[in-house]
Amino acid sequence: MKEIVVSGIRPTGNLHLGNYFGAIKNFIKMQESNECYFFIADWHSLTTHPTPNDLHNNVKTVLAEYLACGINPEESTIYIQSDVPEISELYLLLNMNAYLGELERVTSFKDKVRKQPNNVNAGLLTYPTLMAADVIIHKAAKVPVGKDQEQNLEMMRTFARRFNRMYKEDYFPIPKAYNFGEQLVKIPGLDGSGKMGKSEGEGNAIYLGEDPKKIRKKIMKAKTDAGPTEMNQEKPDVIKNLFDLMKVVSTPDTIIHFDELWNNCEIRYGDMKKQLAEDVISFTAPFRDKIIDLEKDEDYLRKVTQIGAEKARESAVKTIKEVRNIIGIRKF
Ligand code: TRP
């Protein structure tokens, strides 16, 4: 039997190379050997109060981008969270046993309180209960989580265990972290800092759907230093970043070539960046073409989300019926 895996995707902007190599590439493999549910967490994103058009466009963009990356609607169930109302019912039920103290202790909540003291809404506080509902609605065994989501996973486990204990029934499986086996590939940013991310500022990340001209411009502007002064010198972080980026998009020959130039103190960053830009463009071009095609094909996107919602609801309706019965919400 295949294991059930649930993964939520926040509809916030465009995917960059860091997202692709950090998670999505692994999702493609994960879906081959598991029963995967991928959903776009549009309710979660309401905590930040997007405009209706932004919300809709962001959902559409991430849907097109995940499909372009190879999330396969025939292999996996792909749906939009708000298409499955049973999740909101389970969220309500779980909230009755979610305590203020434990919700307030979640680090990401505390960060939000500090950073945006004027928008500490109940949705933010109960973000972990909604996440738990997302996952246990399908009685999932596993959730792929990054470092930043580990505490949320711990909360899901707490809520699932609490339900089982309260009703003296081994009903919900306790979800575990899905491990991707091999080391996760971390993609550095272009500004010399450690990680590619859009919050690090424009210019730091390269998007899968980005225009080649813009990619060239960003890479040519990437941070470097004054150059090596000794043979075989260790590379400082800013330079190592460029090499690390090369490792995921360029051929081994190219990397060896620039590595030798570095070691001989003959490297010219301009040349290296030109090559890197062309290799990034070749790598991203097929994604970009697919994203553009998919965003135009609303009929297809509608079909994918309708089929996804049907499949997701089949599983969700079954769970919520059983949960109601367990809780004592029963028909006369
Ligand atoms: N909170 C996750 C994120 O920020 C998105 C998410 C929502 C999620 N619900 C989920 C992830 C359920 C895994 C399972 O990336």
Amino acid symbol at 63:
L
DSSP state of 207: B
pLDDT score of 211 more than 90? yes
Distance 17 CA to ligand 1 centre (A): 19
**Same domain? 181 vs 241:** no
**Same domain? 317 vs 227:** no
**Same domain? 22 vs 90:** yes
**Same domain? 284 vs 229:** yes
Cβ partners under 8 Å of residue 129, min gap 6: 91, 94, 95, 98, 103, 155, 159
**Residue 224 falls within a domain, yes or no?**
yes
**Residue 192 falls within a domain, yes or no?**
no
Closest to 209 (Cα-Cα) out of 289, 295, 280: 289
State the Cα–Cα distance between residues 318 and 4, nearest whole angstrom: 15
CATH, residue 88: 3.40.50.620
Q: Of 25, 60, 176, 195, which is the active-site residue?
A: 195
State the Cα–Cα distance between residues 50 and 255, nearest whole angstrom: 43
**Same domain? 181 vs 212:** no
In DSSP notation, 3-70 reads: PEEEEEE---S--BHHHIIIIIHHHHHHHHHSEEEEEE-HHHHGGG---HHHHHHHHHHHHHHHHHHT
**Same domain? 52 vs 102:** yes
Domain that holds residue 13: 3-185+297-327
CATH, residue 213: 1.10.240.10
Reply yes or no on whether 198 is catalytic. Answer: yes
Pairing status of strand 77-80 against strand 142-143: unpaired
State the Cα–Cα distance between residues 8 and 17, nearest whole angstrom: 19
Distance 271 CA to ligand 1 centre (A): 40
State the Cα–Cα distance between residues 42 and 96, nearest whole angstrom: 22
**Same domain? 169 vs 204:** no
**Same domain? 106 vs 224:** no
**Residue 193 falls within a domain, yes or no?**
no
241-268 pLDDT per residue, tens: 999 999 999 999 999 999 999 999 999 9
**Same domain? 15 vs 65:** yes
Structural domain count of the chain: 2
**Residue 232 falls within a domain, yes or no?**
yes
Q: Of 139, 198, 274, 318, which is the active-site residue?
A: 198
Average pLDDT over residues 225-229: 95
Start-to-end Cα distance in the chain: 37
Give the pLDDT of residue 31: 96
Give the pLDDT of residue 183: 65
Distance 177 CA to ligand 1 centre (A): 12
**For ligand 1, what atom is nearest to the CA of residue 127?**
1
**Residue 276 falls within a domain, yes or no?**
yes
**Same domain? 23 vs 172:** yes
Smallest CA separation from ligand 1 atom 8, residue: 8
**Residue 64 falls within a domain, yes or no?**
yes
Residue 142, H or E segment: strand 142-143
**For ligand 1, what atom is nearest to the CA of residue 146?**
15
Give the pLDDT of residue 186: 85
pLDDT score of 114 more than 70? yes
Q: How many CA atoms lie within 13 A of 235 on its CB side?
A: 19
State the Cα–Cα distance between residues 62 and 295, nearest whole angstrom: 10
149-196 pLDDT per residue, tens: 999 999 999 999 999 999 999 999 999 999 887 667 889 999 887 789
**Same domain? 99 vs 28:** yes
Q: Of 112, 218, 273, 290, which is the active-site residue?
A: 112
